[in-house]
Amino acid sequence: MEILIRPARKEELGELARLYMAAYQGLERYGEPSLVEAISYLDWLYSTCPEGFFVAEVSGRPVGFIAVNPDWRDRERGKVLEIHEVVVDPAWRGKGVGRRLMEHALDLGRSLGREVASLWVGEGNVRAIAWYRSLGFREEGRWGEWIRMRRPLSGPTSG
């Protein structure tokens, strides 16, 4: 099974929004409440930074995506690689799709000279929190039920 990572295309955001909704089943309080709102959110992510929106494809079919912005301004750190979404089709979890997407995004940040990757994750998303920790992310703050996690971009993806 070959996982191809490629740039997202604006015309496929509807299909990716359906994938997003499936991935957030059981974690709805952290995602968008409807397909229409998910499409709008993904459209915002894409328009904000199309060069940071990547799709994981297997046999021509999207099985995941990641949306990042390598020019995000962090009050404490200056420009960072901000990871907005990592979404994997539930049927493809545990098969390396998320890791490949994350490696691609972290490489983008490194290539642009960023020193830190950061993200927010809901405290109830324990599976994602454990996965992010395995990749070297550490908790560096909270806002309500949201956890701020960061990792340095020096060195390879761990775990």
Instruction: Report d(CA 112, CA 107) in Å as an integer.
Output: 9
Backbone angles phi, psi at 55, to 5 degrees: -115, 140
Domains of the chain: 4-152 (3.40.630.30)
- How many CA within 13 A on the CB side of residue 122? 11
As a whole-number percent, the residues of the chain with pLDDT over 70 amount to: 97
Does the pLDDT of residue 159 top 60, yes or no?
no
Question: Which residues have CB under 8 Å from 36's CB, separation 6+?
Answer: none
Digit-coded pLDDT (tens) for 29-67: 999 999 999 999 999 999 999 999 999 999 999 999 999
| pLDDT for the residue 76 | 81
Write down the mean pLDDT value for the chain: 94
Does the pLDDT of residue 107 top 60, yes or no?
yes
**Quick check: pTM over 0.85?**
yes
State which amino acid sits at residue 73. Answer: R
- In sequence order, the β-bridge partners of residue 55 are 6, 65
